[in-house]
Structure 1
């Protein structure tokens, strides 16, 4: 594993986010002024990988975008973050993924309207040689058949297979048995397991295949489950401006700790602090905390970690 070319190979959705900062969210059929706006490249997997790349990990992203006005922006931005895009494809005659993100400054919430591409990479489009050179293969569940095929290849190659579940997607019940690491927000367990009981959901997900499961719940912190350890880490109190991408960065920071071989307690704290620091800033590129910033918080702030097992 130590001789692998890539620390993390990612496969998943990539979109252009148009971030719109508002003083407050307007009521239906009303207007409000825009404070500021900006474009950025988003998506759970590429966002996590940009963090990992900036933290010194070698990453390759496998995805697709259209030949519209946003395609070149996606390719340029991701390549500029030192992600290997040799397994990615521009699909002629298609639109790139796009999302409008309305950020309510007063409430610290965001509302998203997105366009998902009509065409995706198919299993036959995957370069298996890239997947088999990865220590970790990180997924978001899209596109369903391609994601499952990548997980099967990665498992056979002995890679760690990781999923940032986000919202419930088709085929999750088939994909989860191939996972080693699974991260999901609280809303996912409500949709997938029909329960809001995190302490019951963690072990239930472990029984389906993963060796490590994390469940996040915003200001209520995060939970980590393995066969032998159940942990809860409180959230770092911050003045939240924009929560967009916080879960993506939690997943990326979680993988960083795993790749570093840290104890699960240290890894969970690191992921919680990374996600919290991002929320203090707008966007998911300029907002990314540095390793020095994360370590400084970990050294000066005492996050309460509770064992639940």
Structure 2
């Protein structure tokens, strides 16, 4: 079994601070480190750490940032033979502030020189994958991948986080649309996530979900509202928690878990991730996640 993760890969430059700034000024970081990030890329790392083969499909520049991210993929066992490098382009990176409560502030930069044209994806045989996960940071690429999944009967997952672009086409195509709370608010144009879910359901024949931080995950099952509470852990850093949730969810979908089991599994993996600093270090192996679920349900 192999899973495809299509989207963005980013180098995260992480600064530890006591509190997130609320005004302009000068601030001193208590710690600093660099680690790979990006929704689809971190989802791919999560899948690999959970013990399942995965291929990341996305774009990078021709700089040292790209080499750093590709080396990290290799260290985590993430396949990256379908990563497209563009000459004279800068790879994506983010500045991230993380406070003592584990909350974070992210500022991302994507170079306009990274071509959005998905034509090169036609060289990839999507028949090899048992599920396809797409983020919303590369809309043309996600659209092509979701169309391929639908044509081939491969289950697909959309990580529907907030983005300035219209994602209606992607929502319509995906079998499972997992919104972040801000992503759902923007898509549905309402602040109440439960009302937003019902609005989102009118836009797709797939299943819709929304993650609401420590409150857990809500989804609709045959028109009925379902809920999985968040697992309680000692939070160190929430960076990448949503990305890890989506990676675990794509694995659960490939394993043909039902919605309740898939959400429970994904929630547990994301919660355990939050117990360590960084978006990837805390991702558990599968046996640890399953033992955690058994001990906490």
With structure 2 as the length reference, what TM-score do the two structures score?
A: 0.92
The 1:28–1:200 alpha-carbon spacing in structure 2 relative to 1, beyond 3 Å, is closer
Partner of 1:172: 167
1:8 corresponds, among 3, 22, 28, to 3
Partner of 1:140: 135
Instruction: Report the Cα distance in structure 2 between the residues aligned to 1:27 and 1:155, rounded to whole angstroms.
Output: 44
Partner of 1:162: 157
8 Å CA contact 2:171, 2:204 repeated in 1 = yes
Once the two structures are superposed, the pairs formed by residues 51-130 of structure 1 within 5 Å of their partners are 51-105=46-100, 107-118=101-112, 119-130=114-125
Kindly report structure 1 stretches of 4+ aligned residues shifted beyond 4 Å: none
**Deviation string for 1:108-151 (max 9, x for gaps)?**
31111111121234121114433232221111123222221222
8 Å CA contact 2:132, 2:157 repeated in 1 = yes
Question: SS state of the match for residue 237, structure 2?
Answer: coil
Question: SS state of the match for residue 87, structure 1?
Answer: strand
1:285 corresponds, among 263, 275, 280, to 280
**Deviation string for 1:176-226 (max 9, x for gaps)?**
111101111111221111112333332332332242221011121111223
Instruction: Report the Cα distance in structure 1 between the residues aligned to 2:266 and 2:2, rounded to whole angstroms.
Output: 18
1:152 equivalenced with 2:163 (yes/no): no
8 Å CA contact 1:67, 1:93 repeated in 2 = yes
Question: SS state of the match for residue 95, structure 1?
Answer: coil
Give the gaps of 5 or more residues in structure 2: none
**Deviation string for 1:145-175 (max 9, x for gaps)?**
2221222122112211211011034231122
Instruction: Report the Cα distance in structure 2 between the residues aligned to 1:137 and 1:34, rounded to whole angstroms.
Output: 38
Partner of 1:23: 18
The 1:79–1:36 alpha-carbon spacing in structure 2 relative to 1, beyond 3 Å, is same
1:199 equivalenced with 2:204 (yes/no): no
8 Å CA contact 1:108, 1:243 repeated in 2 = yes
The 1:31–1:138 alpha-carbon spacing in structure 2 relative to 1, beyond 3 Å, is same
The 1:26–1:177 alpha-carbon spacing in structure 2 relative to 1, beyond 3 Å, is closer
Q: How many residues align?
A: 296
The 1:147–1:257 alpha-carbon spacing in structure 2 relative to 1, beyond 3 Å, is closer
The 1:150–1:128 alpha-carbon spacing in structure 2 relative to 1, beyond 3 Å, is farther
1:50 equivalenced with 2:45 (yes/no): yes
Instruction: Report the Cα distance in structure 2 between the residues aligned to 1:146 and 1:262, rounded to whole angstroms.
Output: 27
Instruction: Report the Cα distance in structure 2 between the residues aligned to 1:57 and 1:251, rounded to whole angstroms.
Output: 14
With structure 1 as the length reference, what TM-score do the two structures score?
A: 0.89
Question: SS state of the match for residue 190, structure 2?
Answer: coil
Instruction: Report the Cα distance in structure 1 between the residues aligned to 2:11 and 2:160, rounded to whole angstroms.
Output: 20
Instruction: Report the Cα distance in structure 2 between the residues aligned to 1:178 and 1:186, rounded to whole angstroms.
Output: 20
Partner of 1:235: 230
Instruction: Report the Cα distance in structure 2 between the residues aligned to 1:64 and 1:297, rounded to whole angstroms.
Output: 35
1:222 equivalenced with 2:217 (yes/no): yes
The alpha carbon displacement at 1:23 in A equals: 1.9
Instruction: Report the Cα distance in structure 1 between the residues aligned to 2:85 and 2:195, rounded to whole angstroms.
Output: 43
Give the gaps of 5 or more residues in structure 1: 1-5, 303-309
